[in-house]
Amino acid sequence: MKPGLDSAKNIIAIASGKGGVGKSTVTTNLAFALKEKGYSVGVIDGDIYGPSQPGLLGSNERPKAEGGFILPIEKDGVKFISMGVMNTSGKAMIMRAPLAIRALSQFLSGVLWGELDYLLIDLPPGTGDIQLTLAQQARLTGAIVVTTPQRVALEISRNGVDMFRTVNVPILGIVENMSGFSCKSCGETTPIFKTGGGEKLASTEEVAYLGAIPLDPEIMASGDEGVNLITHHKGVGPAKAFMDLADTVIKGQEAAKSDTAEPHSIEVVNGKVQIEWEAGSPKTYETFDLRFACPCANCVDENTGVQILKAEQIATDISVTRHQLVGRYGMAIHFSDGHNTGIYKFSKLKEMESGSRQDSFSV
């Protein structure tokens, strides 16, 4: 059994621009819906400071270890890991960002999942260190952005869309949560938080609209009690909405996979980087030019964008020793002079002509 993410066929990040839009609830019920359809599913609770998945899934069981790796907990056939089950004290997780990132990295590389069809990652709200670490360490199949219909939530959700585009992660689409309250007595639907905002955002950003999830007491009750909404209300009401969402995600993922600037292959040949953007058409990049174009803080001033590195500081016989993929959006290049801190974005590499010097690969 391989540890980490290699055993997952599809890795999907579920994100939101702000808190309180029900992102974690969507993650939990999408996981149960995918499981109901016969897929093997895992969930990483990426919100280190405010983990929700133990409560939503209804399990506070402590994970066990095997051979130095973590065994995930399982609830109704869905495997998961969360800081909420690691922190037995129940006290607030008070830690600086580097420690939180280390915890997330442990979840990404140190868990024995077994073979998974889908691994869902419930991200904290926002576009900070945790999200960037995930984009760099995990080759995400795609991302889902959850929003509620009102204007404030939509405006902030746009930041999530921009972030995933920046790091070359395919956007599977937008989910509008809390779309409308359906009264079971009179049958009327009341748009408490307005309606249609998610669909409008999807249209504006030219991404798929994955559907609406109603504001329903059954969703709240299932989350509070930690019971499986999908099996308890099979085929009706909000359970049907999540099953429909699962269908849309399954159908849309293949199209999203192709919507990247990711190369067909990368090799180091005779000390130079050779990239096939299209199969059978390799492109060779001059090592001197790549080293000169390094975008790291040692080579380019982060505040002004002015290049610090001078051409005369680079050895004329410099070569590439190896490369390392960074998520789906770029790679780190290790040079013979020991330099390896720059992240070269695929989108910029694709634009770069062999023999031409670029000032920076940063955004």
Q: Which CATH architecture has domain 265-351?
A: 2-Layer Sandwich (3.30)
Superfamily of domain 4-257: P-loop containing nucleotide triphosphate hydrolases (3.40.50.300)
Distance between CA 128 and CA 69 in Å, rounded? Answer: 27
pLDDT for the residue 355: 43
Cα–Cα nearest to 107, from 139, 143, 69: 69
To the nearest 10°, report the CA torsion of 53, 54, 57, 62: 130
Domain with CATH 3.40.50.300 in the chain: 4-257
Between 359 and 275, the higher pLDDT residue: 275
* pLDDT range class, residue 225, cuts 50, 70, 90: very high
Average pLDDT over residues 208-237: 90
Q: Say whether 354 sits in a helix, a strand or coil.
A: coil
The stretches of the chain forming alpha helices (DSSP H) are 23-36, 53-57, 83-86, 97-109, 129-137, 151-166, 197-205, 217-225, 229-232, 237-257, 287-292, 346-351
Average pLDDT over residues 205-230: 92
Inform me whether the pLDDT recorded for 214 exceeds 50.
yes
119-152 pLDDT tens trace: 999 999 888 888 888 888 888 989 999 999 988 8
152-200 pLDDT tens trace: 888 899 998 998 888 878 899 999 999 888 777 776 778 887 778 899 9
* pLDDT range class, residue 71, cuts 50, 70, 90: very high
* N-term to C-term CA, the chain: 38
248-301 pLDDT tens trace: 999 877 666 555 567 889 999 999 999 999 888 899 999 999 999 999 999 999
pLDDT for the residue 187: 65
Looking at residue 352, the DSSP 8-state letter turns out to be: P
